[in-house]
Amino acid sequence: MLLIFQLISFEFKKRNERLRKMKITILVLLICTGNLRAQTSEKPITLRTETGKIQGTLLHPDISKKVPLVLIIAGSGPTDRNGNGPLMLNNSLKMLAEGLVEKGIASVRYDKRGIGESAEAVLKESDLRFEHYIEDARSWIDTLKTDKRFSEIIVLGHSQGALIGMITAREKAVKKFISIAGISVMAGTVLQWQLARQPSIIFNEAKSIIESLEKGELEEQVSKELYPIFRPSVQPYMISWFKYEPQKELAKLNKPILVIQGNRDIQVDTSQAEKLVKSNKFAEKQIIEGMNHVLKDTEADWQKNMETYRKPDLPLKEGLIGVIVNFIE
Q: Is the pLDDT of residue 15 over 60?
A: no
Report the chain's mean pLDDT, rounded to a whole number: 89
Contacts of 162 (CB under 8 A, 6+ apart): 73, 179, 180, 181, 182, 183, 246
Which pLDDT score, from 0 to 100, does residue 72 have? 98
Q: What is the C-alpha separation between 231 and 220, in angstroms, rounded?
A: 8
What is the band of 50 on the pLDDT scale with cuts at 50, 70, 90?
confident
Q: What is the C-alpha separation between 272 and 261, in angstroms, rounded?
A: 8
Question: Which of 1, 5, 3, 2 has the alpha carbon at shortest distance from 230?
Answer: 5
pLDDT tens, 228-238? Answer: 999 999 999 99
Beta-bridge partner residues of 56: 45, 110
Mean pLDDT confidence for 160-177: 98
Sign of CA dihedral 207, 210, 215, 217: positive
| CB-based contact 288:318 (threshold 8 Å) | no
Distances (CA, A) of 82 to 93, 111, 223, 237: 5, 8, 35, 24
Which pLDDT score, from 0 to 100, does residue 36 have? 44
Q: Is 282 exposed, middle or buried (0-12, 13-18, 19+ CB in 10 A)?
A: middle
Q: Is the pLDDT of residue 35 over 80?
A: no
| CB-based contact 210:130 (threshold 8 Å) | no
* Beta carbons within 10 angstroms of residue 326's beta carbon: 11
Q: What is the DSSP string of 15-45?
A: ----GGG---EEEE-------SSTTEEEEEE
Q: Is the pLDDT of residue 2 over 50?
A: no
Q: What is the C-alpha separation between 97 and 197, in angstroms, rounded?
A: 36
Identity of the amino acid at 269: D
Q: What is the C-alpha separation between 60 and 105, in angstroms, rounded?
A: 7
pLDDT tens, 192-245? Answer: 998 998 999 999 999 999 999 999 999 999 999 999 999 999 999 999 999 999
Which pLDDT score, from 0 to 100, does residue 37 have? 46
Q: What is the DSSP letter of 297?
A: B
Q: What is the C-alpha separation between 16 and 139, in angstroms, rounded?
A: 20
Three-state DSSP class for residue 304:
helix
